[in-house]
A and B are shown apart, each in its own frame.
Chain A
Amino acid sequence: DAKTTQPNSMESNEEEPVHLPCNHSTISGTDYIHWYRQLPSQGPEYVIHGLTSNVNNRMASLAIAEDRKSSTLILHRATLRDAAVYYCILRDSSNFGNEKLTFGTGTRLTIIP
């Protein structure tokens, strides 16, 4: 499986935008980029995913570099409830049956009031 690299931790002030980076230099053409987050004492929850184009949903935006070797999860206006561990995960869409998610250690995001 292609690997991802994320900073161990980041801090951001409340109500400011947050940019969470992810490097995936060995990404293949069929890998989707997924982001999940895990709030304290909860299971992970899906945030967003994309293949080549930038994506927006109600939770966040995903900016994907043109060469797809990196991506950035953008929280437009962080709240205290966004404090969590954020995981960047690659999923191969061509390998039917390779359904599992391979988590790294993620980025622990701390929001400063």
Chain B
Amino acid sequence: DTGVSQDPRHKITKRGQNVTFRCDPISEHNRLYWYRQTLGQGPEFLTYFQNEAQLEKSRLLSDRFSAERPKGSFSTLEIQRTEQGDSAMYLCASSDPLGTDTQYFGPGTRLTVL
């Protein structure tokens, strides 16, 4: 069990640029979640997949955000035309609904938009 991994760990970008983050879940987990966390706050849900199907999206996920999980394994989260307000930690989690459905989180990608 290698755990949930995320890449990159840190990303600095200029306002207006596009960024893409990757999440590799625990291999046997078919559920994958994205959360966003700003300083001093708890994580906020963005979206979740069961296999390759995106089953729920938060209102936080504006049109500039898109998430995919094309083969039901890894997932990507893309932010287009980044804004300073997008600066946050982006967390990925996975779970196995046939087990306890506990969510296991990755270390996160810290995005800074200048």
Interface residue ranges, A against B (CB under 8 Å): 41-46, 49, 85, 87, 97, 99-106
Contacts and interface: CB of A to CB of B under 8 A. Distances in A.
Contacts, number: 54
- Greatest chain B CB density within 10 A among A85, A100, A101 is at A100
A42 B108 CA distance: 7
Nearest to A91: B101
Given A97-B55, A99-B56, A100-B33, A46 B103 contact: yes
A106 B31 contact: no
A104 B103 contact: no
B105 A44 contact: yes
A46 B102 contact: yes
Interface residues of B, number: 26
* Binding site secondary structure of chain A: loop
A43 B106 contact: yes
Contacts of B100: 49
A49 B101 CA distance: 11
B72 interface: no
A101 B45 contact: yes
Interface stretch (B11-19, B36-44, B79-87): B36-44
Contacts of A43: 4, 91, 93, 105-108
A101 B35 CA distance: 9
A102 B100 CA distance: 17
B48 interface: yes
Contacts of B31: 99
B104 interface: yes
Nearest to A102: B45
Contacts of B4: 43
A104 B105 contact: no
A102 B48 CA distance: 13
